Amino acid sequence: MKLILKGGRVINPAEQFDAVADVLIEDGKIKAIGQDLTAEGAEVFDVTGKLVTPGLIDMHVHFREPGQEAKEDFESGSKAAAAGGYTTVATMPNTKPVVDTAAIVRSLEKRAEDVAKVHIRIIGAVTKGQKGQELAELGDMVEAGAVAFSDDGHFDPTAKVLLNAYDYLHTFDKVIINHEEEPSLVEDGVMNEGHRSAMLGMKGRPTVAEDIAVARDILLAEYAGARVHVAHISSGRSVDLVRQAKKRGVRVTTEVTPHHLTMTDECVNLYDSSTKTNPPLRTQSDVDAMVEGLKDGTIDAIVTDHSPHAQEEKDREYIYAPSGFPGLETAVGVLFTDLCHTGRVDIPTIIEKMTWGPAKAFKLDAGTISVGANADVTVIDPELDWTVDAKKFYTRGSHSPFVGRKLKGKAVMTIVDGKVVMKDGKVL
């Protein structure tokens, strides 16, 4: 199978390449990048005025398998990923049962192979049942194909257990993704603690809960010489903790979500649970710190923390509704609208944090559009105007704070292993 993407702006952060060029794809690989490319029998797509980038990567999604398929499954989740321009995603282990054995990892990999439109990588749990007490089958899960480990949704309260996990996984050079909130400071909290929570009369989750957890886990990783990845960072102080740790040579990376880059706790509405996230939406100064961290290289990746819930779960009072919302199909539009088109962050930086950044952080064979690389490619129309309509989502989750918003910028083609899996918003 041969494809030629003709006349697009090719951005390849891995090689700092940014120029108008053609891309020839053949037999699932990038065959050539250059001017006026031709190939007998190739299907030609005119992508003039569009961006041609490495396939987008999201290392933090919740596809709910096994056990919660009513919210999402690998088929619906992978379609949402393809619709959003993603070619590789990694699904978190806080499922029912928890992904804490090699047997579950293998079964999920087989399931992904059978039904997924994109590459789905499996993240295993750090501890059995994510209870923070006893290490899970870490080595066996590595051999089964687990790409990383996390007790996401839970802060591991025992420093000794986490240190043991760091020591063990250091042998395999695998990273632990830590959910950072000191539990004793966030009990029953439903939004950021501050002026807005006081005005609404809701219990808050203070940024210091995140800061304390980030500081502890960085210090433990530094002591062990291990790799640590801070999940969905949201506090300005935490960003600075990561920044300073990187300067010391600590093997720390971090990620941020589109909503923590663009929304504040002022967006919280008692009558709309879609803004309830964990960690919560913070203040404008925190958002500014996220943007600065993105620009100066402190933050390595942008993730969606795609977290769909059943309709009846989210249609409840704010304090009782679960945290999270689907983000794969809106991420590009939100980032381009609120960051690129406003001049806050340039396009190459956004592309890097959605491709090469996460590939480097997790040592994936992905995230580049170089000759010889796997042909995972995304085509983005940066000028496309569209309105977010939950009825058109491929995900099973419908509650999003972006529903009804007019956005500018959208993925218009997703290519996985040289095959077009999404074109003009339609998953094929």
Q: Which active-site residues does the annotation give?
A: 305
Element (H, E) at 258: helix 258-262
- Concatenate the DSSP letters of all residues of 361-426 into one string: HTT-S-S---TTSB--EEEEEEEEEEE--GGG-SSS----TTTT-EEEEEEEEEEETTEEEEETTE
Secondary structure of 281-299 in HEC code, one letter for each residue: CCCHHHHHHHHHHHHHCCC
Q: How far apart, in whole angstroms, are the C-alpha atoms of residue 380 and residue 410? A: 6
Question: Which H helix or E strand runs over 277?
Answer: none
Q: Strands 301-302 and 377-387: what pairing?
A: unpaired
Residues linked to residue 148 through DSSP beta bridges, in sequence order: 123
Tell me which DSSP letter residue 274 carries: G
Pair of tokens at residue 31 = 């065959």
C-alpha count within 13 angstroms, C-beta hemisphere, residue 367: 27
Rounded distance, CA 17 to CA 370, Å? Answer: 9
Inter-residue contact 335 to 258 (CB < 8 Å): yes
- Beta-carbon contacts of 201 under 8 Å, excluding residues fewer than 6 positions away, are none
**φ, ψ dihedrals at 296, nearest 5°:** -90, 5
CA 250/CA 226 separation, integer angstroms:
8
**DSSP E strand stretches across 173-269:** 176-178, 191-192, 204-205, 228-230, 252-256
3-state secondary structure of 108: helix
SS3 category, 117: coil
Give the C-alpha separation, 336 to 214, whole Å.
29
